[in-house]
């Protein structure tokens, strides 16, 4: 009757942190990019006067969370590289992928989102009909490309860390 089960994890804590952070980050990105934003676009909210402010607040907060997530992912990968739990093949590729994720978060936070907000700001209060500028569409394409790239790189890194 004194049998005690001991459940021991074979994964280092940093690998668990890496996988959890990537999962939450990529899941949040998918929710925002494929549910929230298309819903707002279809409902016609993008042509409303307050959409630029609302969009900037949403993406300002989300981009800052992305920066924190990217920093945690890079820290986890660098920490795992100093342990004996990972193979040599994984080390270089994981550092490159996590650095790319940080670069994507930085570009989205400090380049694309402020530019989209600046272009979308309505400075003429007497203008009644509001059209989406062509430059805004080009920035949206760049943002979607960065998001797709982030999802591919993040999914690859998540798969690698799961197999490790």
The domain segmentation of the chain, as residue ranges, is: 13-163
| Both tokens assigned to 14 | 């940093």
Write down the pTM of the prediction: 0.84
- Tens digits of residue pLDDT in 75-85: 999 998 888 66
Question: Which residue intervals of 82-133 are DSSP H helices?
Answer: 88-107, 113-120
Q: Does 164 or 96 have the greater pLDDT score? A: 96
115-149 tens-digit pLDDT: 988 887 665 556 655 666 788 889 889 999 999 99
58 membership: H or E segment, kind and range: helix 51-81
CB neighbour class for 89 (10 Å; exposed up to 12, middle 13-18, buried from 19): exposed
Q: What is the average per-residue pLDDT within 8-19?
A: 82
Distance CA 162, CA 141 (A): 31
DSSP string, 4-39: ------SS-HHHHHHHHHHHHHHHHHHHIIIIIHHH
């Amino acid at each position: 009757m004194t049998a005690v089960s001991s459940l021991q994890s074979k994964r280092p804590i940093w690998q668990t942190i890496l996988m959890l952070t990537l999962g939450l980050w990529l899941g949040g990105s998918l929710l925002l990019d494929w549910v929230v934003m298309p819903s707002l676009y279809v409902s016609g909210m993008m042509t409303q006067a307050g959409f630029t402010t609302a969009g900037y607040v949403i993406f300002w907060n989300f981009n800052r969370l992305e920066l924190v997530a990217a920093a945690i992912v890079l820290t986890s990968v660098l920490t795992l590289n100093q342990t004996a739990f990972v193979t040599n093949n994984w080390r270089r590729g994981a550092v490159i992928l996590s650095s790319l994720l940080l670069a994507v978060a930085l570009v989205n936070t400090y380049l694309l989102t402020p530019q989209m907000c600046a272009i979308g700001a309505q400075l003429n209060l007497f203008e009644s009909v509001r059209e989406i500028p062509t430059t805004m569409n080009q920035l949206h394409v760049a943002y979607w490309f960065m998001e797709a790239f982030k999802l591919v790189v993040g999914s690859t890194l998540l798969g690698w860390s799961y197999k490790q």
